[in-house]
A and B are shown apart, each in its own frame.
Chain A
Amino acid sequence: GENVEQHPSTLSVQEGDSAVIKCTYSDSASNYFPWYKQELGKRPQLIIDIRSNVGEKKDQRIAVTLNKTAKHFSLHITETQPEDSAVYFCAANGGSYIPTFGRGTSLIVHP
């Protein structure tokens, strides 16, 4: 099955800085890579996703890059704000509709 590794587990930045979270996956059949943001006690929310036929996708301050050869993908958040503080999960689908989640990254943005 698919195995997803996510780093770092905790990331602390100053407001306005950029934040990068990296994930690697094992199954070359994976073709869908979503990122979720989860605030404390709330549901995970899909913030951006990328499919294997593109290498990069951007939505305002958030971007995701995918390197299929190396089997890794990354979330980039620019101009971080305190409200970006949350736990972020990456996932890979192993070619099916059942995603495997990473362990999560706790992002702390200091004002």
Chain B
Amino acid sequence: GAVVSQHPSWVICKSGTSVKIECRSLDFQATTMFWYRQFPKQSLMLMATSNEGSKATYEQGVEKDKFLINHASLTLSTLTVTSAHPEDSSFYICSAAIGATGYEQYFGPGTRLTVT
């Protein structure tokens, strides 16, 4: 149980285009999902917290107009990187919270984004 999928696993796009990444909880309902960014050999940097049916809460320094997050259902959250630039190239990972207290997080496999 507690399986989280993420699609696509990798994507290459050109500067100026937009890319959408999907995060799904396959066998449970997740009222809260998280989006992280991870640079090589570094820790997970929380970008935003996504709650079903409401606006995402972004961490300080994360541009909400550039990283659009939509949590349309209890099993799906999407991250859209708009007008991508090479500096947006990174490993993006989502997670979903589970458990009575919502503390346990289970991560998706990640999406490797390369902007050329």
- A residues bordering B, Cβ < 8 Å? 32, 34, 36, 41-46, 49, 89, 93, 97-99, 101-104, 106
Q: Produce 1/0 per residue, B98-112, CB < 8 A to A.
A: 000111111111100
* A97 x B107 contact (CB < 8 A): no
Q: How many residues of B contact A (CB 8 A)?
A: 20
Q: In whole angstroms, how far apart are the Cα atoms of A45 and B44 in the complex?
A: 13
Can you list 17 contacts pairing A with B, beta carbon distance less than 8 Å? A34-B104, A41-B110, A42-B110, A43-B93, A43-B108, A44-B44, A44-B107, A46-B104, A46-B106, A49-B104, A89-B43, A98-B34, A98-B46, A99-B105, A101-B43, A102-B43, A106-B41
How far does the Cβ of B37 sit from chain A's closest Cβ, in whole Å?
12
Q: In whole angstroms, how far apart are the Cα atoms of A20 and B109 in the complex?
A: 27
The number of inter-chain residue pairs (CB within 8 angstroms) is: 44
* B104 x A103 contact (CB < 8 A): no
- B residues bordering A, Cβ < 8 Å? 32, 34, 41-44, 46, 49, 93, 97, 101-110
* A93 x B110 contact (CB < 8 A): no
